[in-house]
Amino acid sequence: MSQRDLIQIALFVGTVFVVTPLMGRYMAAVFAGERISARTLLGGVEKVIYLLAGVDPRREMGWGRYFGAVLAFSLFGVLAVVGIQMTQQFLPLNPQKLPNVPFPLAFNMAVSFVTNANSSAYAGEPAMSYGTQILAICVQRFVSAATGMAVAMAFIRGLVRRSSGTVGNFWADLTRAILYILLPLSLVFAVVLVGQGVVQSFAPYREATTLEGARQVIPLGPAASQVAIEVLGTSGGGPFGQNSAHPSENPTPFSNFLQMVAILSIPAGLTYTFGCMAGNRRQGWVLFGAMLFLFLAGLAVAGLAETATNAATGLTASMEGKETRFGVMNSVLFANVATGASCGAANAVHDSFSPLAGMVAMINMMLGGVMFGGVGAGLYGILVFAILAVFIAGLLVGRTPEYLGKKIEARDIACAVAAVIAPTAAILAGTALACVAGASNSIHPGPHGFSEILYSWTAAVANNGSESAGGNPNANLHHFLAASAMGVGRFAVIAAVLALGGNLGGKRAAQPSAATFPTDRFTFAALLVGVVLIVGALACFPALSLGPLAEHLLARAGRIF
């Protein structure tokens, strides 16, 4: 890495560090119902929403009812998005007269955006009308991100409350997340992106003639408003097929920097929100530190691998699959931000990365996206690992483990293990099924082809939505199987997390004693990192050995695929 690369990484990390307490303090105030300036302006709108929906925000739910509300709302979202896609040729805001989306693709897209996976199985400009992108895709970017934040708040309440049988009101949490956090931030950020040159238009596509005399169609659309929530909500799946590599979506290095900061702003800020709600901000900084260490470790491996000399080609810092306006390090940094934050956005072709850089992207997702994870999902993911860490610490010293004063018992560990094992099992089972049942999207042989398959299923289960490319994912069997994987990766984890939060919420909090293992110190952060790496990555190591690790060793011997 050059000195310029290191300066840029330091500037990026420093910006995220500054944004974290600002965002975290504000979100804690929003979900606590405190008086803030935004509530002065939008409080009346919030009350009207509750009135029209017949919701009493003061009436709280147990974890089972909360999960039922999440499922019901998500099912309605799937049906609505499928319906809009399959009737788009009859709906307004379709200047290109695009036809209806076929059911297999429409179903896959609906599930992917409802689960915040935002799959890359489609290209926006030839498949989705402006109306579909606004009414179906953009709406789900908001509500799916808000759902993740709501679940995180419910889990935190279970951790910090004393002898409570409730974890909050889903409809109130959802409304506040959208109205006071996602909507204002997206509005401001969309204006900033327009200033950087991101297109925002409802005009039909334009035709142009190149210098060679060829005809070229230049797609337009309301991109800036979608890109803003795409990155802030860690959803990915941009309005153009090339995603953040498209000059109309990410035109400048500065817009690229802003998008990366936006991706991590809410997930990182939620760690500080947790500290505020727990009454000990050091608890939040410990989680932030563990996430940051994992992120920087992965970035270092990927950056060194991508700038090293390739023994097979003799090239150093290959630009294959990358944009010249961003360069190698900006591409690697963006990939690690997006995969670590469960965001499907990409400004380079991940399939062109070196084997080890591609492996880091997969590990980021295999660990549950806890560096820093998706909006809400990253926080409750790292908290599950924190509970496993205190359990392991309790085994080492022969004492009942505690977290925030709550005793961690067998049922709690069962829920935590289920939240970790379910996605891993889905990744491995889906990869195996794709290899033997013809549901693969790979066209390359050897370990590189296997890596493409493994990446595809990892991204689906991790609700990331990015692709390693290399084949055609537009196959009906792949659509349905991938949709199932996305559902498991989203709702199996949410069910386990809410059950864990509900169980912990009903317990009394014990006062800390001399034998209590402190969870707001560096020692716990180190233990947490170790648990994440061992528990989260060990199960997938054999698959990684067959794919990127094998390809890396063969590349050193001069073989490429």
The tens place of each residue's pLDDT in the chain, 561 residues long, gives 778 889 999 999 999 999 999 999 999 999 988 888 878 888 899 999 999 999 999 999 999 999 999 999 999 999 999 999 999 999 998 888 889 998 988 898 899 889 988 776 666 677 788 889 899 989 999 999 999 999 999 999 999 988 788 999 999 999 999 999 999 999 999 999 999 999 998 888 888 888 888 888 888 889 999 999 999 998 877 788 778 888 889 999 999 999 999 999 999 999 999 999 999 999 999 999 999 999 999 999 999 998 887 766 677 777 888 888 898 999 999 999 999 988 888 888 888 888 999 999 999 999 887 888 889 999 999 999 999 999 998 888 777 788 988 899 999 999 999 999 999 999 999 888 888 776 555 667 788 888 888 998 898 898 887 777 655 555 777 788 888 889 999 999 999 999 999 999 988 877 776 667 889 999 999 999 999 998 877 888 889 999 999 998 888 877 777
391 forms beta bridges with none
CA distance 230 to 193: 12
Contact between 225 and 200 (Cβ < 8 Å): yes
pLDDT for the residue numbered 196:
94
CA distance 504 to 155: 9
209 forms beta bridges with 215
Q: Which residue has the tokens 């590599």?
A: 245
Token pair for residue 70?
A: 């999440």
Give the angle 474-478-483 at the CA atoms, nearest 5°.
110
pLDDT for the residue numbered 167:
93
CA distance 32 to 21: 16
pLDDT for the residue numbered 180:
95
pLDDT for the residue numbered 439:
54
75: closest CA among 110, 41, 40, 105? 110
- CB neighbourhood size of 384 (10 A): 25
102: closest CA among 127, 131, 67? 127
pLDDT for the residue numbered 530:
93
CA distance 348 to 331: 6
Distances (CA, A) of 479 to 11, 120, 153, 235, 325: 40, 11, 32, 18, 34
CA distance 503 to 305: 44
Distances (CA, A) of 540 to 293, 299, 324, 464: 21, 19, 34, 17
pLDDT for the residue numbered 33:
84
- Considering just the CA atoms, what is the radius of gyration of the chain in Å? 23
Give one DSSP letter per residue of 316-355, joined into a string.
Answer: BS--TTB-TTTHHHHHHHHHHHHHHTT----SB-GGGS-H
218 forms beta bridges with 206
- CB neighbourhood size of 504 (10 A): 28
Token pair for residue 106?
A: 């429409």
Token pair for residue 181?
A: 């956090």
Helix extents (H) in 213-279: 223-232, 253-278
CA distance 490 to 377: 9
CA distance 193 to 95: 24
Contact between 108 and 119 (Cβ < 8 Å): yes
pLDDT for the residue numbered 438:
61
pLDDT for the residue numbered 193:
95
CA distance 179 to 420: 31
Contact between 550 and 445 (Cβ < 8 Å): no
Contact between 240 and 124 (Cβ < 8 Å): yes
Terminal-residue alpha carbon distance, the chain: 26
309 forms beta bridges with 316
- 150: which residues sit within 8 A by CB, 6+ positions away? 70, 168, 170, 173, 174, 177, 376
pLDDT for the residue numbered 244:
86
Contact between 240 and 123 (Cβ < 8 Å): yes
Tell me how far the alpha carbon of residue 452 is from its chain's centroid: 19
